[in-house]
Structure 1
Amino acid sequence: MLEVNGLIKKYGKQNAVNDISFRLEGGEVVGLLGPNGAGKSTTMKCIVGLLRKTAGEILIGGHDHLSVAAKKLFSYIPETPNVYDLLTVKEHMQFIAQAYKVDNWKDKADQWMELYDLTDKKDKLGRDLSKGMRQKVSICCALLPDPQLLFFDEPMIGLDPKAIKNTKKIFKELKERGKTILVSTHLIDSVETIADRIMIMKDGNIIGNDTLSSLKSQFSATDDSSLEDLFLELTKDE
């Protein structure tokens, strides 16, 4: 579903992403972890086309990532949710539905708004929403077109406990339907229970990319160590 080959992103002479390659298969939830400045968000923004890559090839569903065919296959939920100030919550859903030609969008929109407790906020303007509500709107808009591939950049920040629980449940349901999810986060506990595979970045490089159990065996962590223990061990300064 996603192929990244030799991705490089430079700012001046500094490499923010240093020649990384990886693949994501259908029906897979992958957690992308790393300390601040590791290159997680830069990698994700290059994949979705918000940043221009310096070098490398990115394919989504076999299509170049900047093509319309690729863009129809994925949704992206940014770390800082962007909503339109003068559109209501419901109008956001309508806008996405028209852009992606979603059939029977009203029923689907009502379903997602109810799940995220937005039904009574559907006539509120974007400018009047709290950060948490904006995040919920962003997630609902991303889910409405039923994409094959979803990119979540820090999806749990700003969400209340109920919304976090529902989001994890959605990840599981989407995975069972063969969808592919890449989750970038600092909240290690939030991915430990849902990710099939973990990718760990440091200084623009992927230093670990495997299942949690395999990573533990590779890096000599004890069987009872947590993902947090493994993460801290791999990303510590030498």
Structure 2
Amino acid sequence: MIELSEVVKEYRAPPWRAAEGRVRALDGISLRVEPGTALGIVGPNGAGKSTLIRILLGYLRPSSGTVRIGGVAPRAYVERHGIGYVPESVAIPPRWTTRGTLEGFAALGDLPDAGARVDATLELLGLTALARRRVGALSKGNLQKLSLAQALLAPRRLLLLDEPLNALDPVWVARLRGVLADWRAADPERIMLVVSHNLNELERAVDRVAVIAGGRVRAVLELRGAGQAEAYRVALDAPDAAARAGVVELFPGAEAAGPDEWVVRAPGAAELSRRVGALLGRGARLRSLVPGGLRLEERVARVLAEPEAEAPR
């Protein structure tokens, strides 16, 4: 489990911003990630995502607040268990070979059956034919696959991916989706965190998405989960105040999707029919009812467009 409570991270302002004194990169982030969860992390540039990653990896300590991974501080967790990590920018010495890179990481992690693990991981990421090629001669896409390979080499329970789709072609984007699904399925306790600007792919890979802006968690959006109700778009014809109130009352958590239109959820067709019937009984006039909710891109945009509440300092 990952737990962050009121995490603040401040830096001394650079010379060109000296008048600001200190810059607050994280501004009271609280977040809980249960075992078995795949969490996406999204937000605009400068939102605090990179700082959050560095804290989770144990590279930085928060200015205040607490961070625990598996009940211990990040650095202690990394030292005991390790974290599979794919950085946004891959930095591997160009004279190393593809296979030698993985052998080096296996040696650092003191992995048993290292040779077999390296062979299997090369095959998994489609790098077997490139095993003897030097890193400096790899294409950007194959370099990204090598970065993914080193993160998946050891049987970790925590995987942190920062823009994992960088430079991958459409075929490998789809294949990686399957690779990550298999990684999760192999151990129900595993946690996967994915930072990405590719919201269409992220929506297919994770269960929840934390939207970060201004160093704060603005919302945590549920995408899927056991027993989660199906989503529908319901549109009413010139609804009055009572009809609008009825939507919110009969469908808790209804999301506005446009003028006189909402995304609602109901656990099954029978319950949906009952609730819509109750809505019509209040005088509402149904214009349309179709399956499907808001896409992640729409939901994130709506969160970021909402006024931000001022946090206490």
Determine if contact 2:58/2:78 at 8 Å carries over to the other structure.
no
Q: Which runs of 5+ in 1 are unaligned?
A: none
Task: Name 2:256's counterpart in structure 1.
Answer: 220
| Change in 2 beyond 3 A, CA 1:85/1:71 | farther
State the AA in 2 paired with 1:114: E
1:141 aligns with 2:150: yes
Counterparts of 2:137 and 2:60 in 1: how far apart (Å)? 29
Which sits farther off after the overlay, 5-14 or 29-38? 5-14
Matches within 5 A, 1:178-193: 178=188, 179-193=190-204
Determine if contact 1:79/1:153 at 8 Å carries over to the other structure.
yes
State the AA in 1 paired with 2:112: D
Task: Name 1:209's counterpart in structure 2.
Answer: 220
Counterparts of 2:159 and 2:212 in 1: how far apart (Å)? 19
Task: Name 2:211's counterpart in structure 1.
Answer: 200
Which sits farther off after the overlay, 198-207 or 126-135? 126-135
Higher RCO (CA-CA < 8 Å; seq separation 6+): 1
Matches within 5 A, 1:37-186: 37-67=46-76, 70=79, 72-176=81-185, 177-178=187-188, 179-186=190-197
| Change in 2 beyond 3 A, CA 1:128/1:58 | same
Tell me how far 1:104 sits from its aligned partner.
Answer: 1.5
Secondary structure of the structure 2 residue equivalent to 1:10: strand
For the pair shown, which has the larger CA radius of gyration, 1 or 2? 2
Counterparts of 2:68 and 2:199 in 1: how far apart (Å)? 28
Counterparts of 1:134 and 1:189 in 2: how far apart (Å)? 23
1:38-68 CA-to-partner distances (Å, cap 9, x unmatched) read 1112211111023343222222222211126
1:79-134 CA-to-partner distances (Å, cap 9, x unmatched) read 11121222111111111111112112222222221232211211122222222222
Determine if contact 2:69/2:77 at 8 Å carries over to the other structure.
no
1:24 aligns with 2:30: no
Determine if contact 1:10/1:17 at 8 Å carries over to the other structure.
yes
Counterparts of 1:69 and 1:79 in 2: how far apart (Å)? 19
Counterparts of 1:109 and 1:125 in 2: how far apart (Å)? 16
| Change in 2 beyond 3 A, CA 1:69/1:118 | closer
Counterparts of 2:255 and 2:90 in 1: how far apart (Å)? 36
Q: Which runs of 5+ in 2 are unaligned?
A: 13-21, 232-252, 264-292, 308-313
| Change in 2 beyond 3 A, CA 1:74/1:188 | same
Counterparts of 1:135 and 1:50 in 2: how far apart (Å)? 22
Counterparts of 1:191 and 1:139 in 2: how far apart (Å)? 16
Tell me how far 1:209 sits from its aligned partner.
Answer: 1.2
State the AA in 1 paired with 2:301: L
Task: Name 2:7's counterpart in structure 1.
Answer: 7
Counterparts of 1:54 and 1:77 in 2: how far apart (Å)? 25
Count, aligned residues: 237
Counterparts of 2:80 and 2:194 in 1: how far apart (Å)? 18
Secondary structure of the structure 1 residue equivalent to 2:256: coil
The alignment's TM-score, normalised by the length of structure 2, stands at 0.70
Which sits farther off after the overlay, 144-153 or 165-174? 165-174
Task: Name 2:303's counterpart in structure 1.
Answer: 234
Counterparts of 1:68 and 1:26 in 2: how far apart (Å)? 15
Tell me how far 1:71 sits from its aligned partner.
Answer: 5.4
Greater than 4 Å deviation, 4+ residue runs: 68-71
